[in-house]
């Protein structure tokens, strides 16, 4: 997304500072200091008929275990490619455009109470198709359970041996380093608290989606949860009763990264891909960069609007 962009003073290893914002956007992070101060919640749903047909087609093509979750992931990746402000994050009271698309997910190797959780982090490209997303996620998942522990589990295990008071001090140090953009890239790569989005499936547990909090540690700005399918009896256009299946999903967002209009536009696009997943079979015609990343471009854009 930003392959040819050079790093400037104030940029971070995982993102570029957004320099073309309005004054309010620079001030609000100092008023709403913690991520939980700026949390918004909303819920939505999508009818699954088209998604289920699409899943069946993909499985017939040999994509074993392709499911609704892969459709949701692919739809989100595509949405970010078209609405890049969704991929911003806040750190050190400053707003940054993330360099890549990273999705975190807590997973189990088996659905049992005695099976431990781990967190996987998959890195996607904005031009990825649904098949690309499926392959990337599958490879990441298989690596996490290929034997031994993954990088995140290794770090957590080491910290577990540290006495509580020292552990608290270490976390404080990590927060300070992260605040100033000095946290080593190796840690942000394995940290489940850094990324574009965190997603969780309640559908596999057979329950509706929860509203999951955002973490004050790290910089994940969006948390999505989706639930199990539910059946609804509705009337079609001719007034006849029909039985339809829906999946509810909840979204928790950090309102400081963009305004409500931008969020609404992004999630309308997200829902459009969920309702017509065949759009995800081809790469997007154009991949957009954050429009406010450069102050000069923002000023030029404003002048062009005034001249019209």
Q: Give yes or no for residue 31 having a pLDDT over 80.
A: yes
Please report how the helices 130-144 and 49-60 are oriented relative to each other, as an axis angle in degrees rounded to 10. 70
CA distances from 16 to 42, 76, 83, 91, 285 (A): 28, 21, 16, 11, 24
What average pLDDT does this structure show over 110-132? Answer: 82
| Tokens (6 digits) for 171 | 């976390």
CA distances from 199 to 106, 178, 184, 228, 284 (A): 8, 22, 24, 14, 23
| Tokens (6 digits) for 303 | 């002048």
What average pLDDT does this structure show over 33-44? Answer: 94
Q: Give yes or no for residue 297 having a pLDDT over 80.
A: no
Q: How confident is the model at residue 254 (pLDDT cuts 50, 70, 90)?
A: very high
Q: Give yes or no for residue 137 having a pLDDT over 60.
A: yes
**SS3 of residue 43 by DSSP:** strand
* Stretch (H or E) spanning 197: strand 197-201
Q: What is the set of domains in the chain, with CATH numbers?
A: 15-307 (3.30.559.10)
Q: How confident is the model at residue 180 (pLDDT cuts 50, 70, 90)?
A: very high
- The pLDDT score that the predictor gives to residue 154 is 75
- For residue 90, report the phi and psi dihedrals to the nearest 5 degrees: -115, 130
Range scoring the smallest mean pLDDT among 142-146, 162-166, 198-202, 263-267 = 142-146
Highest mean pLDDT among 7-16, 105-114, 234-243, 265-274: 265-274
- In eight-state DSSP terms, residue 19 is -
pLDDT tens digits, one per residue of 201-215: 988 788 899 999 999
Q: How confident is the model at residue 161 (pLDDT cuts 50, 70, 90)?
A: confident
Q: What is the pTM of this model?
A: 0.90
- The pLDDT score that the predictor gives to residue 299 is 57
Three-class DSSP labels, 90-113: EECCEEEEECCEEEEEEECCCCCC
What gap in Å lies between CA 183 and CA 14, rounded to an integer? 10
- The pLDDT score that the predictor gives to residue 136 is 97
Beta bridge partners of 234: 242
Q: What are the DSSP calls for 116-163, one per residue? A: PPEEEEEEE-TT--HHHHHHHHHHHHHHHTSSS--HHHHHHHHHHTS-
What gap in Å lies between CA 195 and CA 218, rounded to an integer? 8
- The pLDDT score that the predictor gives to residue 237 is 84
Other residues' Cβ atoms within 10 Å of the Cβ of residue 41: 12
Q: How would you label 202-235 residue by residue, b for 16+ Cβ within 10 Å and e otherwise?
A: bbeeeebbeebebbeebbbbbbbbbbeeeeeeee
What average pLDDT does this structure show over 169-176? Answer: 92
What gap in Å lies between CA 104 and CA 192, rounded to an integer? 6
């Amino acid at each position: 997304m930003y392959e040819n962009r050079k790093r400037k003073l104030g940029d971070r290893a995982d993102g570029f500072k957004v320099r073309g914002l309005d004054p309010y956007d620079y001030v609000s992070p100092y008023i709403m200091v913690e991520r939980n101060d700026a949390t918004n919640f909303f819920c939505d749903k999508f009818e699954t008929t088209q998604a289920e047909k699409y899943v069946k087609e993909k499985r017939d093509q040999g994509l074993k275990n392709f499911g609704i979750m892969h459709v949701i992931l692919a739809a989100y990746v595509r949405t970010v490619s078209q609405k890049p402000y969704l991929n911003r994050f806040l750190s050190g009271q400053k707003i940054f455009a993330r360099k890549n698309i990273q999705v975190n997910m807590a997973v189990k190797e088996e659905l049992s109470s005695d099976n431990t959780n781990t967190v996987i982090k998959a890195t996607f490209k904005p031009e990825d198709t649904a098949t690309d997303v499926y392959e990337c996620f599958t490879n990441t998942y298989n690596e996490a359970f290929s034997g031994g522990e993954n990088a995140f589990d290794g770090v957590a295990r080491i910290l577990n041996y540290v006495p509580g008071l020292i552990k608290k001090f270490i976390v404080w140090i990590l927060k300070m380093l992260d605040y100033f953009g000095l946290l080593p890239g190796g840690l942000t790569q394995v940290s489940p608290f850094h990324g574009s989005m965190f997603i969780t499936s309640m559908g596999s547990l057979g329950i509706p989606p929860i509203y999951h909090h955002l973490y004050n540690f790290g910089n994940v700005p969006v948390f999505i949860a989706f639930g199990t399918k539910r059946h609804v009896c509705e009337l079609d256009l001719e007034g006849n009763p029909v039985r339809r299946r829906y999946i509810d999903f909840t979204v928790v967002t950090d309102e400081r990264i963009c305004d409500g209009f931008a969020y609404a536009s992004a999630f309308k696009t997200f829902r459009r891909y969920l309702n017509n997943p065949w759009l995800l079979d081809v790469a997007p015609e154009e991949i957009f960069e954050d429009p406010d990343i450069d102050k000069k471009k923002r000023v030029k854009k404003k002048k062009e609007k005034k001249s019209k």
